[in-house]
A = this chain, B = another copy of it.
Amino acid sequence: MQRTDFAGMACSIARTLAVAGEPWSPLILRDVWVGTTRFDDLQRGLGISRKVLSERLKWLVEQGVLQRRPYSEHPPRHEYALTQKGYELCDVLMAIAAWGDRWTAGKAGPPAILRHRACGEVTRAEIRCSHCGDPLHARYVDVEAGPGWHPPG
């Protein structure tokens, strides 16, 4: 949780950040997505403090982005898995990674590449207009008040 209440803002960006914008949360989701689902593996892989990892996992489960489920009864052991809500957040992570590949990878090239199982090809997340299907650029988009808009404060 940030110091400031992002969740109450009339902005879907702020509200998304309230769910998964704290430091580490996106990287935790990334690791769970690619198959690191257990506490110790996450902690070692990320180099995050156990305390913060514990807090984040609890929060992400509360928010319905992850689910905690047993993979063994004796001894009781748990792992974390993405929900539908969480998978759709990972879609956004792919768009974030595409920006990072383009602007931060340098000449070494991207650290990871994505392969679309449906077409079998290496892919990159492209942001497109839901209406006409053309690439959607912020520069050519107008923002208008929506039904859920309310003044700040």
Q: On chain A, which size bracket covers the interface?
A: 35 or more
- Contact residues of A between 44 and 58, Cβ < 8 Å to B: 45, 47-48
Q: How many copies does the complex hold?
A: 2
Are A127 and B91 in touch, CB under 8 angstroms?
Answer: yes
Are A129 and B123 in touch, CB under 8 angstroms?
Answer: yes
Q: Which residues from B are CB-within-8-Å of A77?
A: none
Q: Which residues from B are CB-within-8-Å of A102?
A: 88
Are B117 and A142 in touch, CB under 8 angstroms?
Answer: yes
- Alpha-carbon gap, A102 to B21, bound state (A): 17
Are B149 and A104 in touch, CB under 8 angstroms?
Answer: no
**Interface: A134 (CB within 8 A):** yes
Interface residues of A, dominant DSSP: mixed
**Interface: A137 (CB within 8 A):** yes
Q: Which residues from B are CB-within-8-Å of A99?
A: 12, 16, 88-89, 91-92
Are B148 and A132 in touch, CB under 8 angstroms?
Answer: no
Are B141 and A114 in touch, CB under 8 angstroms?
Answer: yes
Q: Which residues from B are CB-within-8-Å of A13?
A: 26-27, 30, 93, 96-97, 100
Q: Which residues from B are CB-within-8-Å of A61?
A: none
